[in-house]
A and B are shown apart, each in its own frame.
Chain A
């Protein structure tokens, strides 16, 4: 699972009001190269929750992203886009778990696929 997906995903357990962002427990991280596409990144930059992305990339061991939300002018710098691209699309959480921030319910991640199935009493 890439951080792109992590950034979109929230916990939808019954009664949870703010299930975003899910915390990450890391067991194994892999990197897969992806074609660099500035247009897509510029499009995504507006949608991404920056703080969640930075925190998630740190927990995967990648600390090159700036802490504060960057100005929108930074989007034209190639250096920034490369880092953004790497964090968003190339880092994969292969094994580990996602943890709901409110209930601390764990969603296990195996072979890169998070198991987001809810139990009957959580729907």
Chain B
């Protein structure tokens, strides 16, 4: 079971100094955040003319996602509710401007000035009522309403979300639609439990070609990395004689599963988004008997 920070404490309390510190020290978190924001930027589908845009990073936290935006040359404004996270962003010398703001209170930006918005793992926080005055439905409405107003016509907003259940996704989507957005959910690696990622892609303005949803990623395209790992396996010498194996395994290996079975399994793993070596003539071939 993946732990859900939303269930522990409100964001401004959960992301205290200790939790925020993780976002500078853990290379794993940094790598994941960078990957997510790169994909979000890709889904944003900004026109490819080299002109930097003014983007919004909602729930910018320590500015990890903003870094990706800066690397691509864009100017950005980031907002977050946790001061500790923003302090970390200052330490990391985030290039964008930072605002301490609660997205559930509305964004408070002028109309039609923002070219696009991204948000990494933040919107699901809106579904919680952390104070007695909080009403998730109203907070979502205030958020999406103000976002719709401040986006330029045809501008897109991409949210990477971890909805807890079907009802939560419904709630977020329906509030977005009610605010006037068109769009839907793009699910990357839908068959994998680990690398499955959901992106809410919303477009501002009337439906057009732009509002068509981009394609989700199904397979891991990094086949080169798969190649390497297969080579490593060949180099290893496997020295387990049959006698040392548990009895159960002895039986199955005697029979063998055959090439067809291996190919089927590899295909399954690929659909889950795992790195799988390429299929070659060596795939599932029997090892030479060694003495």
Known: A4-B75, A37-B73. 4 other contacts (CB 8 A): A8-B114, A39-B50, A113-B98, A118-B102
Task: Kindly report which residue of chain A lies nearest to residue B146, judged by CB atoms.
Answer: A12
Q: Is the CB of B97 within 8 A of A5?
A: yes
Q: Is the CB of A4 within 8 A of B54?
A: yes
Chain B neighbourhood of A40, CB < 8 A: 51-53, 75
Residue B107, interface by CB 8 Å: yes
Q: Which of A9, A111, A114 contacts B109 (CB 8 A)?
A: A9
CB distance from B143 to the nearest CB of A (A): 12
Residue A43, interface by CB 8 Å: yes
CB distance from B75 to the nearest CB of A (A): 7
Docked pose: A77 CA to B242 CA in angstroms: 81
Residues of chain B touching chain A, judged by Cβ–Cβ distance below 8 Å, are 50-54, 73, 75, 77, 79, 81, 83, 86-87, 90, 97-102, 105-110, 112-114, 131, 133, 142, 146, 150
Chain A neighbourhood of B52, CB < 8 A: 37, 39-40, 43
Q: Is the CB of B108 within 8 A of A10?
A: yes
Docked pose: A11 CA to B54 CA in angstroms: 20
With A8-B110, A9-B109 in contact, do A2 and B100 touch (Cβ < 8 Å)? Answer: no
Range for the number of chain A residues in contact with chain B = 20 to 34
Chain A neighbourhood of B108, CB < 8 A: 9-12, 19, 116
Q: Is the CB of A49 within 8 A of B110?
A: yes
Residues of chain A touching chain B, judged by Cβ–Cβ distance below 8 Å, are 1-2, 4-5, 7-12, 19-20, 37, 39-40, 43-44, 47, 49, 89, 111-118, 120, 123
CB distance from B250 to the nearest CB of A (A): 65
Chain A neighbourhood of B79, CB < 8 A: 116
Chain A neighbourhood of B107, CB < 8 A: 12
Q: Which of B54, B90, B102, B110 contacts A112 (CB 8 A)?
A: B90
Q: Is the CB of B53 within 8 A of A20?
A: no
